[in-house]
Chain A
Amino acid sequence: MLKKIALAAGLFSATALASNAVQAEVKVGLLGGISGPIAAMAPPMLDSAQLAIQQVNEQGGILGGQTLEAVVGDSACNPQNGVDSATKLVNIEQVAGLIGPHCSGAVLAVANSVTVPAGITLITPSGTSPEITGLDDKGQVFRTVPSDDFQGRSLARTLLDLGTKKVAVAYLNNDYGSGLANAFKVEFEANGGELAGYSAHEEGKASYRSNLAELSRGGADTLVIFDYGDGTGLTILRQALENGFFTNFVGGDGMKSDAIIRELGADNLTTFIASSPVGEKSNSLEIFNEAYKAVGGNPDAIFVSNSYDAAFLMALALEKAGGDSSKVSAAMSAVSDGQGEAVLPGEWTKAVELIAAGKDIDYKGASGDLNFDNAGDVPGSYGLFKVEGDAFALQQALN
C-alpha cells in the first residue's frame, strides 16, 4: 500500500512538474485521418501543417515568444473517432484552436458536439461537404478548401461541355460522397444531362460487381465515382474496369490518388479523369512549394497547401486574438478578409509586428487568397486531371 501511495505521489509530482514546464507553450490540435480510408493522403498534409508551426517557432514564437505546439490526433476519417480525439484535444490537452479534421463527416460531428459547444475555433484543410456551409456554428468553423458544391457543379458543367450527356454515379455513403454527388446531380440534370444510374455504396465490401451491374443497366458508358482512391473507390474502379461495365471513368478529388495509378497501372487508366482543386499560380504558392521541398515534402501531394494555410491561419488568428480562444473566430475572419497589408506564407515575423502595431493584415495563402465569406468558406478553382506517365497531369480547367 505504501508503495502505491509513493507511486501515486511520484506520478502526481511528475505531472505537476510537467504542467509547469508547458506553461510557455500554446497548444493547437492537429486532427487528421491518420488511419482509415485517407491514411495515404494524411501524412503529407500533417507534415505541411507542421511546417507552418515550425516556421512560427523559428521566427520568434507566438504570443510574445511562447512555443506553438501541435498536438496530433487521429480522426480515422470517421465521425466517432473524430469526436473522441477532438474531445481529448479540447478537454485534456486544452488546445486553443483545432486544425482539422480532414474528412467532412468528422468535421460535422466534431463541430456539432465538441468545438462549437466548447467555443473553440476549427479550421479544416479538406472537409469539402456542402453541409459544412450550413452548420449552425456561431462562425467558428472555417475551411481553406472550397465547398464541394462548387466542385460538383463545375464538374457537371464541364462533362456536359465535353459532350457527355449520360452518366451513372456511384458515391460513397458518407458526408463527402453524398454532398458531392448531390451537387453534381442537381447541376447535371438542370443542364440537360441524364443520370442513368445514381446509387450510394458502403465502404469496405469485397465486391461491388452487383452494384456496378445495376448502375450499368441504365445504358450509360461513363461512370462518375465520388469516393476515396485509397479505399473503396479503388475497388470499384478495378471491378468496373475488369468486367467492362463502363468505358469512361470520372472521379472527384478523392479519386485523384496515386494508389490508383500504382495498383491499376497507367495503361489501364487512359479513360480515367479526375477533378481536383488547383492552387492558382501565385507568389504565395511558390514560396510554399520551395519551403515544403526544403523540408523534404512533395508539394504536388493533395491538400498540402490547404493544410499549410490552415495551420498558418490558426497561428495568425491566435496571435491576433491574444491567445483568447473565444476571440479566435473573429480574428480568423479578420486576418484573411482581403483588407490590410498582405502577409505571405512564412512571413510570421512581419505578421507579428503588424499585429503588434495594430494594423490590419491579409493572409495570401498558398492555396488561394482565402478570403472567408460569412460561412467561413472560400471560393476556389478546379482542374480536370488525366493520367499521364505515372502521375496525374492537368488536362483542362473546370468552368
Chain B
Amino acid sequence: MPFMEFVNFYLMPGIVLGSIYALGAVGITLVFGILRFAHLAHGDLATLGAFAALGVVTIFGVSPWVALPAAMVFCAFMAIGIDKLFYDYLSERPKIIVVMSSLGIALMLRAIVQVVWGVDTETYTRGIVRPDDYWGIRIRDREIYTIIAMFVIVGVLWAFLQKTKWGKAMRAMSDNPDLALLSGVDNRKITMLTWGIVGMLCAASGFFLGINTELKPLMGWTMLLPMFAAAILGGVGRVEGAVIGGLIVGIAEETSVLFIPGEYKAAMAFAILLLILLVRPTGLLKGKVL
C-alpha cells in the first residue's frame, strides 16, 4: 500500500477521531480524578451539546462555529445543574450509587434530545464536502479545525490547571479532598467549577463528532467506551494523558482494519482497555489506580 494512502485513509481519520475521543476523555478523566466516579452520562451530555449547537444554527442561522461557544456555555450550566439536582444529593452515598445514577441521567438526557429534536439524523450543513489536497495529504478544513481546536481547548485547560489559583485548588482536591478542605479549598465550589469545565468539554466533543459525521441521538453513547478506554490508557486524572490516550485509541481503531476484519473495529477500544488494565493499571502517564 502506498504511504500516502495510509496517511490519507487510515492515519488522518484516526487523528481526527482521536481528537474527538481526546476531548471526551479529558472530561472523563477530570470527573474520575476530582470527583472519583465513572461518569456514564458523559456521552449523552456530548449529544446534548451537539444538538444545542444545532439548535443555535437553526434558530439564528449562524455558522456552526459560532454556535460552538454557545453550546459549550449551555452544557456547562446543564452539567452544574445536573450536579446540584442529583450527584450532590448522592455525594455522601457509596460511589457506585452515583455511577448508576449517572446512567439514569444519560437516559434522561437522551430522552430530552429525542423529545426536542426528534429521532431523525441531522447535520449542521447539508451536502458533502470534498477534501482539499495539501501536498498529497487530503484533508477537509473542518478536520484541521477539529485537531487545532482540540489542542487549543486542552492547552487552555492545562494552563488553567497549572497556573491559576482555581486550577491549583482543583488539583489539590484531586490529590486529597480532605486535605484540600483543611487548607481552605471550598470543595463545593471546586465541584461546580469542575462540572462547568466538564460540560464545556462534552459540548466540544459532541460538536466535533457532529460536524465530522452526523447528529444522532445515540451518537454520544456509542463514543463512551472508546472515551473511557482513552482516559484509562492515558492515566486517570491526567489531562495530557487523556489526549495521548484519545489519539492512540482513534488511530488504533482506524488502522485496525488493516489487520482484522472491519466488523471487529469496535472491539479495539475494548482490547486496549483490557490490555492496559492488565499490564499497566496506572495508565501510560502515572495516574490514579481505581
Contacts and interface: CB of A to CB of B under 8 A. Distances in A.
| Chain B associates with chain A | yes
A210 B121 contact: no
Contacts of A209: 9-10, 13, 254
B112 interface: no
Given A213-B10, A235-B213, A204 B222 contact: yes
Nearest to A263: B123
B134 to A, nearest CB: 15
A35 B121 CA distance: 12
B128 A238 contact: yes
Contacts of A262: 126
For A204, A205, A231, the residue with the greatest tally of chain B CB atoms inside 10 Å of its CB is A205
A246 B5 CA distance: 15
B130 A242 contact: yes
Interface string A60-88: 00000000000000000000000000000
Interface in A258-275: 259, 262-265, 267-268
A200 B263 contact: yes
A36 B110 CA distance: 11
B179 to A, nearest CB: 41
B121 A201 contact: no
B288 interface: no
Given A207-B254, A209-B254, A241 B214 contact: no
Contacts, number: 114
Nearest to A197: B262
Most buried by B among A173, A199, A243: A243
A214 B126 CA distance: 27
Interface string B74-91: 000000000000000000
B258 interface: yes
Interface string B21-32: 000000000000
B263 A199 contact: yes
A212 interface: yes
B257 A243 contact: no
A231 B216 contact: yes
Using C-beta atoms within 8 Å of the partner chain, give the interface range for chain A. Answer: 35 or more
A213 B217 contact: no
B282 interface: no
How many of chain B's residues touch chain A, expressed as a range?
35 or more
Q: Which of B114, B128, B217, B219 has the most CB of A within 10 A?
A: B128
Contacts of B17: 206-207
B13 A207 contact: yes
Given A210-B255, A213-B10, A214-B258, A242 B131 contact: yes
A211 interface: yes
Contacts of A206: 17, 20, 209, 212-213, 223
Given A207-B13, A213-B9, A265-B128, A199 B121 contact: no
B138 interface: yes
A39 B120 contact: yes
A39 B129 CA distance: 26
Nearest to B257: A210
B192 interface: no
A40 interface: yes
A213 B218 contact: no
B214 A211 contact: no
Nearest to B130: A242
A210 B212 contact: no
Interface in A126-163: none
B165 to A, nearest CB: 37
A203 B114 CA distance: 19
B278 to A, nearest CB: 24
A302 interface: no
Interface centre among A39, A262, A268 (most CB of B within 10 A): A39
B265 A231 contact: no
A218 to B, nearest CB: 13
Interface string B121-141: 111001111110000001010
Given A204-B218, A242-B129, 11 more contacts: A39-B217, A40-B120, A40-B121, A204-B222, A205-B265, A209-B10, A210-B13, A210-B257, A210-B258, A231-B216, A234-B121
5 contacts: A206-B213, A214-B257, A242-B129, A243-B131, A263-B122
